[in-house]
Structure 1
Amino acid sequence: MSLYDVSLRSQANYPYVTFYYYKEWQDFAMELHEHDSVEIMYVMCGSCKIELEGETLHLKKGQFIIIDANVPHRLHVQSEKKCRMANVEFAFRPGVTNYLPFKQVVEETPSLLQMLCDYQPYLLFLDSNDIYGCLKNVILELDKKGTSTDFMVQLLLSQLMIRISELANRNDYAPEQNLYNKKAVEFIHQNYDRDIRVKDIADAVHLHPGYLHRVFKETMGCSINHYLILHRMKKAKELIAQTDIRITDVPYYIGVNTQQYFSTIFRKYTGNTPMEFRREQQRLHLQSDDFIKK
């Protein structure tokens, strides 16, 4: 059953663990597979790659992913690297226990309701809300052979999902997007004067270009290329207005290879040619000087 199935918010279902482990992987390539359970994979140390939805995600220490039920995926760990992971897979079933049904947990937790109303085949996070501690408690409880109870497992799973939803809905975090967007913006600001592509930016923040493009646009409201152009035009205007650099040299200061393309894009974003913009700035500067003298 999908984590986003509406019946989880309308009928009495209870979470239960179908599989779990602590494990260190090396030189491992899992077959593409899917299962009926929701899976949480947490990288405790090292790094790995997870392929799903046509993307390759690179996970490092402190990152974790939630993969919805029936989403094909595979884990890959390179031979020269190691990756220690904690994993819990869980599903839902109807029944009666001493614990609250999951729908009531959702009803009482606005952040969880908000997260579950927006279907995502997977969610990728950087832990900053003690998620590892909650996940570890689930696994330790399951390891209590003969003494573990459905009540405690359901309680701990619910706590885990609540903490994850709080992380997902923090305004200053917005899952992993803000972290990667910040790194992408920093890379652009530091390298805009070079010939860079989306792939270069994605490599710098260790994400698949397609995934970075999607989360950047969702969070920033524009594509990476559009943001790069805007930043280059901002720098071009500063150079034209505040320096005596020749107009023909400006493109090479901002990572644009041809004068013709620079002139076309500058006019599109400013409404003036580079030379018109410089003349207008010089005129405004003279007017300002005359005003000060008076």
Structure 2
Amino acid sequence: MNIGSLFASALLEEHYSPRIYAYYFKHWNDYDMAFHRHDSTEIMYVIHGSCVVEWQEERPGPASARLGKGEFILLDAEVPHRLVVDGSCRMLNVEFGFVPHKGELPSVKTFAEKEASLRELLAVRRASLTLQDPDEVYHSLRSLVLELDYQGGDGKMLDRMLLMQLLIRIGRLRSESERSLAPQAGQYVKASIAYLVQNYDRPLTIREVAASVSLHPGYLQRLFKSQTGRTMIEYLTDIRMEKAKMLLERTAIPIADVSDYVGAGSRAYFHALFKKYTSMTPVEYRAAMDKQRLSEGLPAAMESDDS
């Protein structure tokens, strides 16, 4: 069975060889492409000019990246995406997948067992990967395309060797990029938490938080989980529920309005979330806190007819 995704688990479990399906140079001028998808993985490399690539992940709404000279994006199979060029952009595109292994060249699995950066690249599924190239990837891409042209589009063994070299270079580049950001990871997470604390009272998206610290949403989520042990959504929920507890305990704000104060969405959703978080409904929590305050000789937060 052929595989289109670079992140299919079978590539690390069984023996497959890479295969090129399409490759081309293209100069774009003021172009706005419709969303489309491929059943193969695609690399879009900017040689000159700039462009914006938008893609759709599992969460609603498109993500996007602006690419300049020497930058490229890898888009996984079946990810809807489109290209927007405001001005001029020359690109090199390659589409590839994987077929059951044959021949003398080692399989992807064998290469990954020897090359940690390739193994790490293949192990984490992602819709896209955007990187700045120090020219190594471009030279690998160019060599691959020249070989395919020389062989009439069917490059036998050498094109597979060049494609494996390309994937290893991308794996190493990704590893180097993440290592260079590692010392800053704590600062990125700290800034993200500050943004959550300052904006918890309104609807928030991971993309918005990531934009506030100039990181890709997927990468920020991985940093956040590794630094805090919780997802960003879990952390935001903690903030909102703790604020809700404080409002119920210390203020006379009507319970029906508390969800608006903490940005928790509809009242019904807030009530369900609060009960999951505290094992009490908001009404029960306020009543319990009022009882405790009265036992301590303090005034209740508000009258008991709240609902």
TM-score range, shorter chain: 0.5 to 0.7
AA of the residue aligned to 1:68: D
Residue from 155, 169, 173 that aligns with 1:167? 173
**Alpha carbons of structure 1 residues 11 and 60: separation in structure 2 relative to 1, 3 Å:** same
8 A Cα contact 1:41 1:87, kept in partner: yes
Q: CA deviation at 1:19?
A: 0.7
Secondary structure class of the residue paired with 2:178:
coil
Secondary structure in structure 2 of the residue aligned to 1:155 = helix
Q: How many residues align?
A: 208
Whether contact under 8 Å (1:178, 1:219) holds in the other structure is no
Supply the RMSD in Å over aligned alpha carbons. Answer: 3.5
Distance 2:150 2:181 in 1: 38
User: 2-side partners of 1:157 and 1:47: how far apart?
Assistant: 25
Q: Is the 8 A contact 2:210 2:220 kept in 1?
A: no
**How much has 1:68 moved relative to structure 2?**
0.8
In structure 2, stretches of 5+ residues that fail to align are: 192-206, 233-307
Is 2:53 the counterpart of 1:47? no
Cross-structure match for 1:69: 77
Give yes or no for contact 1:43–1:86 (8 Å, CA) kept in 2: yes
The 8 Å contact of residues 41 and 86 in structure 1, kept in 2 or not, is answered as: yes
**1:83 alignment counterpart:** 89
Unaligned stretches of 5+ residues in structure 1: 189-197, 224-294
Q: Percent same amino acid at aligned positions?
A: 35
In the TM superposition, residue 146 of structure 1 has moved relative to its aligned partner by 4.0
TM, length-normalised to structure 1: 0.60
Matched, 1:10 2:16: no
Residue 134 of structure 1: aligned partner: 140
How far apart in 2 are the matches of 1:218 and 1:159? 32
Q: Letter of the 1:64 partner, please give it.
A: F
Measure the CA separation in 1 of the matches of 2:83 and 2:212: 19
Asked whether the equivalents of residues 36 and 82 of structure 2 are also in contact (C-alpha less than 8 Å), the reply is yes
Instruction: Compute the displacement of 1:215 (Å).
Output: 7.4
The 2-side partners of 1:104 and 1:212 are apart by: 27
SS across alignment from 1:169 = helix
Classify 1:216/1:60 alpha carbon distance in 2 versus 1 (closer, same or farther; 3 Å).
farther
Partner amino acid, structure 1, of 2:120: Q
CA deviation profile, 1:229-248 (whole Å, cap 9, x unmatched): xxxxxxxxxxxxxxxxxxxx
Report whether the alignment pairs 1:58 with 2:66.
yes
Displacement after TM superposition at 1:25 (Å): 0.6
Q: Distance in 1 between matches of 2:70 and 2:172?
A: 17
Partner-residue secondary structure (3-state), 1:174: helix
| 2: CA distance, partners of 1:203 / 1:58 | 16
Aligned to 1:236: none
TM-score by length of 2: 0.58
Whether contact under 8 Å (1:17, 1:88) holds in the other structure is: yes
1:155 Cα deviation after fit: 0.1
Q: Which residue of 2 aligns with 1:23?
A: 26
Match of 1:122 among 124, 128, 152: 128
| Structural mapping, 1:145-160, within 5 Å | 145-146=151-152, 149-160=155-166
Tell me which residue corresponds to 1:250.
Answer: none
